[in-house]
Amino acid sequence: MLLLAARGGGRTVAEILQMLNSIEERYVIVYGDLGTFRKIYSHFAKKRIENNELVVLLPYYETIDRVRLVLDQSRIDVRMQETRGHLAIMDSYATYLGFQQDNTLLFSRLVMHALVSKKSGISIMADMGAFYLIDQIAEIARRNQPLSDSMKVTGFSTYHKKDFEKLSDGQKRAIFGKDHTVLMVQQAS
């Protein structure tokens, strides 16, 4: 059953950020504006990097340079984190359209780097079209599980509200299955 967790106008950004700190289930985050989305992904990246996780951001409506700027403004040393391989920012559309073999190789390398770097996990925030990549990375990590039983791969799909509203209930069930919670985010003030 797809649970719509945001009745009555949605959750505040603060509530969403608190929920993302305790990952026990899979969330689909639906945002209405880029300002709100920026607060969410910058907090998400900062918290995960501080928790010794490899962070993968796959923006759709943001350019990679804009994401870097937002993260820099959030006091994340983006250049250092990317150079060390602790942060990967890739265009979700281009990544999703990449050949399956290329994506498998790319994400295998991310998983191996996380293992070699003794990361506690990999956290992914993928906007819209890159949804299936989260499952792909999780599968690659499961194949490497004997190398590190403690490393978790967690991921969040995000959708702009207008894109999410275009999906029928049947499409939502087909994409998300029954084990996802949809979080509607109120516009940030």
Inside any domain, residue 27:
yes
> In this structure, is residue 99 part of a structural domain?
yes
Calpha distance 151→119 (Å, rounded): 7
More confident residue, 102 or 50: 50
CB 129 within 8 A of CB 96: yes
Range of the domain at 33: 3-184
Mean per-residue pLDDT of the chain = 76
In a domain? residue 189: no
CATH number of domain containing 57: 3.40.50.300
CB 159 within 8 A of CB 128: yes
* Tens of pLDDT, residues 53-104: 999 998 988 999 999 999 999 999 999 999 998 999 988 777 766 654 566 6
Name which residue leads in pLDDT, 141 or 43. 43
- Confidence band, pLDDT 50/70/90 cuts, at residue 130: very low
Q: How far apart are CA 32 and CA 92, in angstroms?
A: 18
- The structure's pTM equals 0.78
Query: How many folded domains does the chain comprise?
Result: 1
Q: Is 23 contained in some domain?
A: yes
Neighbours of 156 (CB within 10 A): 23
Asked whether the predicted pLDDT for residue 171 surpasses 80, the reply is no
Handedness of CA 85, 91, 96, 98 (dihedral sign): negative
Q: What is the pLDDT of residue 52?
A: 92
User: Is residue 132, in this structure, part of any structural domain at all?
Assistant: yes
